[in-house]
Structure 1
Amino acid sequence: MSVFRKHCRIWRGKNTLEMFLLEYHKEVIVAGGLINGNDLQMRYKVFLDRNWAVQKVHLGLLNAPFSTLFMEQVEPGKWMDGLGNHLLMLDGCTDIDISATPFTNTIPIKRMAQNRMAKFKVAYINSFNLTAHSVSQIYTNKGCDIYRYENLNSLFCADISVDVYGLIVDYPKLFQAIYVNDEEYI
């Protein structure tokens, strides 16, 4: 007997609204969002294994139909683009951070397991021009479903609150969950 779970969220950003869906399948986790704002209309899909390791990432700007980004992690810390080119500037990055969504903060939080603090090398994706570069981030579990996020490159930090599934409830001044629906099928 297998269990199928689905999580729906609507996140309000500073200037965006995101409709988000996360589905757990037998061997893969699939997450995706549609983001709409004054200056950004974007869709994305992230494929993860059951241990929350990112496998593939697809992004596209809806207001610029030919602006897309495809990345695949072919082995831990090694990324290829859609043409099979090795993305050297992302070597060592095991996670992703898409700037326009709070979802990608869930990925390292889920991979922390029981660790109180963990440092991650992350492929940071600028949602406005679909470029990626390497950054270092630290997540610290402060208890009560609160995580301290620190970007060591920009020195930005915030205390993020998550729900029991590790999905963002409140990312102060950036994102807030305004709709939540969780379903489980047997």
Structure 2
Amino acid sequence: MDEEKLINLVKEHGELYDPAHRQYQDQLKRELAWKKIANKMKMQAHECKERWKKLRENYRKAIKLRQTQKAKGIKKLKRIKHGHLMTFIADQKEIEYEEVDTHSAGHSRKTEIYAVEPNPVDPLVLERNYETAPRTDTVVTFFTNLGETVKTFPKDVQIRVKRDIFRIINEAEEEVVMNKFKW
């Protein structure tokens, strides 16, 4: 299954993942959306739905683990699979999941509430969606073009380049802030 394609198709249907969407509670609209996605994926709707649930839960668990690791001061964090594509669900505060009790074979619904605040400068998780960047600003265009070039590199080189660029920008930002407060 092409997981990236599935993620992008789900992203087009806010009623499937966004509780604030006006059709989120409309079960018929949600089922129609799953049928459209299944048609494009050339699969059954229930298969797409189940795979999406697994992808979504894995992403949420990875974000939660990352937050815990950052709180513990761990610097080297593992890259989140499809993290750059899944960020559109990262701002949801309330997450409902199904827990299976293996001892009694029972199911229970739980709601876990936590604030997900993805770090917008974490080069291992977030990669900008370059198609949405405004092309009128020359600085944005410059960095967009750099991004298009860097994404053709092998993953290990991409990570190194993004880390180095982030370091340079971070140092420049610190310099600007320090100069701003000089008397």
Same fold (TM > 0.5): no
| TM-score interval, smaller chain | under 0.3
Q: Which structure's residues are more often strand, by fraction?
A: 1
- Over alpha carbons, which structure has the higher Rg? 2
Q: Normalised by the size of structure 2, how large is the TM-score?
A: 0.27
User: Higher relative contact order at CA 8 Å, sep ≥6: structure 1 or structure 2?
Assistant: 1
Q: TM-score, normalised by structure 1?
A: 0.27
